[in-house]
């Protein structure tokens, strides 16, 4: 239902239309072009542009033209991540129920590896991430899986910025040994008490043109009757392939 005309705020409409005009003008336009495009006076256009620039929705370049700003970029990134998580959850829930283990999803974004979703339940609670993956990717199956999927240049850059901290006596802290371990099994990565004592983890990569990530299951060594390793590997790879196909599908407009 259309909103009554009296409830619309004209200045907000004009500001939003200015953003649309910047996009329509190949992502870069000056105040005069935007004024003409929206049929606004130049003074009104400047007032709106100053506000949009102050709030980060637009950015003013040295030549006086305007481009989309960091606030819009952040909103778009959050929207994309929300769509990724919505598509991932059904497969993660199925994997959790099949393997009776918590499931984790991590992605590589803006030079960092981050866990973006955990699917567990009261019967299979998640493992406490006592050290953030930002500082422990080398000690986790998720991190090693993503490092293996990176380009050599991105991996070298990441490892140069992140020290290989020793979290347990099993943690690999030698870069050459870590690189060898990563290349040994690109389709599955393992963490056998490298991140936390008594915890094993297996991860499979999820790689599309827009996303580099991994899905993993964690198991406590004390768990009675855990699934066989070959069953875990097969279920994990099926789930990763399902998510990869789902992520590659175009989003509904």
Same domain, 199 and 170: yes
Contacts of 143 (CB under 8 A, 6+ apart): 106, 113, 133, 136, 137
pLDDT tens digit sequence for 206-253: 998 888 999 999 998 877 666 788 899 999 999 999 998 888 766 544
* Structure confidence at residue 141 (pLDDT): 95
Phi, psi of 135 (to 5 degrees): -105, 5
Same domain, 63 and 146: no
Instruction: State the residue range of the domain holding 60.
Output: 9-68
Provide the token pair at 143: 């991190």
Domain boundary among 43, 68, 93: 68
Judge whether 3 lies within some domain: no
CA distance 44 to 240: 52
Judge whether 121 lies within some domain: yes
Give the percent of the chain with pLDDT over 90. Answer: 53
How would you class 137 by CB atoms within 10 Å of its CB: exposed for 0-12, middle for 13-18, buried for 19 or more? Answer: buried
Domain containing 227 — which CATH number?
3.30.450.40
Same domain, 93 and 33: no
Number of independent structural domains in the chain: 2
CB atoms within 10 A of CB 151: 9
Same domain, 62 and 80: no
Strands (E) located in 135-211: 189-192, 199-207
Judge whether 102 lies within some domain: yes
Domain boundary among 68, 95, 119: 68
Least confidently predicted of 127-131, 141-145, 222-226: 222-226
Please list, residue by residue across 175-205, b when 16 or more beta carbons sit within 10 angstroms of its beta carbon and e when fewer do.
eeebbebbeeeeebbbbebbbbeebbbbbbb
Same domain, 102 and 173: yes
pLDDT tens digit sequence for 78-116: 667 777 788 889 999 999 999 999 999 999 988 999 998
DSSP 29: B
Same domain, 61 and 82: no
CA distance 178 to 184: 10
Contacts of 123 (CB under 8 A, 6+ apart): 100
Same domain, 30 and 97: no
Using pLDDT thresholds of 50, 70 and 90, give the confidence band for residue 160. Answer: very high
Judge whether 41 lies within some domain: yes
* Structure confidence at residue 63 (pLDDT): 86
Judge whether 235 lies within some domain: yes
* Structure confidence at residue 173 (pLDDT): 95
Judge whether 237 lies within some domain: yes
Cα 70–80–182 angle (5° rounding)? Answer: 100
Q: Are 106 and 214 in contact (CB under 8 A)?
A: yes
CA distance 68 to 144: 35
Domain containing 58 — which CATH number?
1.10.10.10
Same domain, 44 and 91: no
Judge whether 215 lies within some domain: yes
Domain boundary among 42, 68, 94: 68
CA distance 17 to 43: 16
* Structure confidence at residue 224 (pLDDT): 67
Same domain, 109 and 213: yes
Same domain, 116 and 232: yes
Judge whether 226 lies within some domain: yes
Same domain, 243 and 147: yes
Same domain, 106 and 87: yes
């Amino acid at each position: 239902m259309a909103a009554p005309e009296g409830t619309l705020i004209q200045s907000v409409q004009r500001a939003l239309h200015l953003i649309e005009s910047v996009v329509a003008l190949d992502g870069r336009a000056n105040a005069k072009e935007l004024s003409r495009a929206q049929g606004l006076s130049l003074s009104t256009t400047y007032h709106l542009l100053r506000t949009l620039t102050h709030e980060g929705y637009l950015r003013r370049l040295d030549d006086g033209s305007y481009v989309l700003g960091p606030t819009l970029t952040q909103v778009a990134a959050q929207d994309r991540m929300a769509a990724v998580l919505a598509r991932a959850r059904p497969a993660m829930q199925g994997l959790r129920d099949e393997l009776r283990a918590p499931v984790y999803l991590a992605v590589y974004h803006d030079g960092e590896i981050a866990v973006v979703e955990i699917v567990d339940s009261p019967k299979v609670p998640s493992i406490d991430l006592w050290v953030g993956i930002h500082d422990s990717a080398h000690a986790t199956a998720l991190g090693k899986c993503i490092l293996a999927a990176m380009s050599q240049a991105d991996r070298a850059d990441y490892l140069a910025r992140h020290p290989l901290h020793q979290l347990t006596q099993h943690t690999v802290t030698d870069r050459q040994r870590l690189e060898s371990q990563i290349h040994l099994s690109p389709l599955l990565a393992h963490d056998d008490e490298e991140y936390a004592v008594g915890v094993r983890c297996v991860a499979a990569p999820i790689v599309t043109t827009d996303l580099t990530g991994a899905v993993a299951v964690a198991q406590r060594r004390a768990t009675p009757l855990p699934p066989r390793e070959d069953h875990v590997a097969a279920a994990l790879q099926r789930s990763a392939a399902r998510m990869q196909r789902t992520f590659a599908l175009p989003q509904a407009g």
